[in-house]
Amino acid sequence: NWILRGKITAQHVPLAVVLMSGLIFDFCYNSAHFVSSASEQLLSLTDYLKTPAYWTLTADLFLLAICGGFYVVPLYTYLQKYSPADFRSRSVAANNIFNSFFMVISSLACMAILAIGLGTRSIFFLLGCFNLLTAVYLCQLLPRNIIVSLVKWLLKILFRPTIIGLENYRKMSGNALIIANHTSLLDVPLLCCFLPDKLTFAIDPSMAEKSWLKPFLLLAETFSVAPSNPFATKKIIKKISEGTRCVVFPEGRITATGSLMKIYSGPGVIADKANAVVVPIYIDGAHYSKFSYIKDKIKSKWFPKITVTILPPQQLPKCTENGRKRHQFYSEYLYRLMTRAYVLGSRTEQTLFQSLLDAKSHHGGNTLIAEDIERKPLNYKNFVLRSFLLGKKITEFTHTGEVVGLMLPNTLASAVT
């Protein structure tokens, strides 16, 4: 319940079955030591814990129980939630009968295997094989679910993403267009894995042709459209009118500066024609990763912290103009909308000095940041040091809440003060 956040979803079921198969085979392999050293006398708990091989067996069984829960609980919940109300009790009863039937069959199979002298390891091996066949079937039945589960798990471990405003996303009703800033190659996997719906992405044709990007595109439906092509908007309008949750990057390409690039008017025209609300999303932190296009301009990290901020759905105002003025209107409106998302997605509650310390932590204390007419640049470390020294001096003749005026020339001293 903690991992699924209260959602009723079977997206982890295929992954759970795959992991169960691996754990059963591992248990079968590690139990060789147990069988070879078995005797008629039971082991005490102390003797059991002294043998490392038995710890591995215990871990296999413990993890197998957890994966079994991930497999069974969502399916039972699905059965109870989505079966028709007048048929629900019969559905549960039929499921119980099938479970009992297979319990009996498996018991008879175990008896037969032991009777011909194959032993308990053979039982676990056959169980792993049958479970693996089930895993293959489920992966074919729900291929996207297992990919999403794996990618989401990796993203959580590596980038520790924080999703702010998910309740705003759930407020959507009717036709909706999702717009987001384009910071890196991680944007599509992030939105696919952490937004509830199955999304459709409009991407640039040049990006869609890149072979190394195609595994990421398996996470969602995609269709290639050029942002400057007016005929391409008709395809997106049709998709949205059919109820598809479409994502468009209004910049049309990955940022080359770390900030917002030129905003195209296309998404505004699409939302107007499809009578759809616009849901702005701001992705922060991904531009510091190795998957961005500005890693050669700023200090990048392998796994920076990422924050995704979702704003409430916005109804675009109607534009009475036509032609160029209409496109200019929507371009400017979307730019203001994305700028607002940028502000709300930033840590505006902290002080200027705390932001300076955060920048020092990210870029490194020896990074040069300021220079004046004396041509003696300061790095973060010396800048912060001077701020503390000068701040201590100023506090000697000022008090909290006092308004202090400064008359300083345009030098480093002004910035430090």
Annotated catalytic sites, by residue? 182
Token readout for 264 is: 């195209």
Token readout for 120 is: 């308990």
Token readout for 60 is: 């296999």
**Residue 277 β-bridge partners:** 176
> Are the C-beta atoms of residues 340 and 323 closer than 8 Å to each other?
no
d(CA 91, CA 85) in angstroms, rounded, equals 10
> Are the C-beta atoms of residues 295 and 186 closer than 8 Å to each other?
no
> Are the C-beta atoms of residues 200 and 246 closer than 8 Å to each other?
yes
d(CA 220, CA 388) in angstroms, rounded, equals 51
d(CA 355, CA 73) in angstroms, rounded, equals 45
d(CA 38, CA 271) in angstroms, rounded, equals 71
* Integer Rg of the chain from CA: 29
Which DSSP letter does residue 197 get? S
d(CA 399, CA 158) in angstroms, rounded, equals 45
d(CA 210, CA 376) in angstroms, rounded, equals 46
b/e map of 75-93 (b: 16 or more CB within 10 Å)? eebeeeeeeeeeeeeeeee
Q: Give residues with Cβ within 8 angstroms of 232, minimum separation 6.
A: 202, 225, 226, 266
Which DSSP letter does residue 221 get? E
What beta strand segments (E) does 144-196 contain?
A: 162-164, 176-180
Query: Measured on CA atoms in the order 151, 153, 159, 163, is the torsion positive or negative?
Result: positive
DSSP-based helix, strand, coil % in the chain, nearest 5: 55, 10, 35
* Three-class secondary structure of residue 165 per DSSP: coil
Give whole-number Cα distances, 291 to 186, 220, 286, 296, 301, in Å. Answer: 7, 19, 8, 11, 10
